[in-house]
Chain A
Amino acid sequence: QVQLQESGPGLVQPSQTLSLTCTVSGGSISSGVHYWSWIRQRSGKGLEYIGYIYYSGNTYYSPSLKSRITISVDTSKSQFSLKLSSVTAADTAVYYCATLNDDGDYFDYWGQGTLVTVSS
């Protein structure tokens, strides 16, 4: 059973870079079974897919956020990370790390989520 845990600052200043890390346990980040993903939820309602990284380093970024996103993986630490640059209040959200299954059609494991507020 894969378990995911997000970590990172809960408050980020406008125009700065949001940085979050997801620690994976209960499974190998190098297994190739999952695409390691980030999803956010603004205002407690709809979910928004941010992107994924495969253990090999291949990435997918949402077209709407592509210019500001970097997702990386550190297999030695069983962690993957999200960086979102030039943040504004619109980036305030609960950020989840999750796994996209190897067929790429559903998200089977989720972290508990972490609230990031963009404010000065």
Chain B
Amino acid sequence: QSALTQPPSASASPGQSVTISCTGTSSDVGGYNYVSWYQQHPGKAPKLMIYEVTKRPSGVPDRFSGSKSGNTASLTVSGLQSDDEADYHCSSYAGNGWIFGGGTRLTVL
């Protein structure tokens, strides 16, 4: 099981949109619709933002959306706000376990 690949950083201005990618293989991201995304503010625990590729838990703004194409999943944050500045982690079921990406630091300029 290898970690999923995320860009180390992403940035955009308030009000703009940003998309973070998460690349795996056909054995994980491409093979299952079990991709989830987590937001983590400094010193805090991760928070579930997206599950099963596109679904939002109750209380998560609809500015957050997820998608998948082949072996790459994506998280899009639209209408960026200052509080969106955080680390974002993707995760996928991999057939015999669960793997995460290395995390992406989102900066709101």
Contacts and interface: CB of A to CB of B under 8 A. Distances in A.
Contacts, number: 59
6 contacts: A46-B3, A49-B100, A105-B32, A106-B51, A110-B45, A110-B46
Which secondary structure dominates chain A's binding surface? loop
A60 B97 contact: yes
Contact of A46 (B36, B48, B57, B89): B89
Determine the interface band of chain A, counting residues with CB < 8 A from chain B.
20 to 34
Contacts of B97: 49, 60, 62-63
B57 A108 contact: yes
Contacts of A111: 45
Contacts of A64: 1
Interface residues of B, number: 26
B46 A107 contact: yes
B33 to A, nearest CB: 8
B91 interface: yes
A106 B34 contact: yes
A100 B51 CA distance: 12
B24 interface: no
A107 B49 CA distance: 10
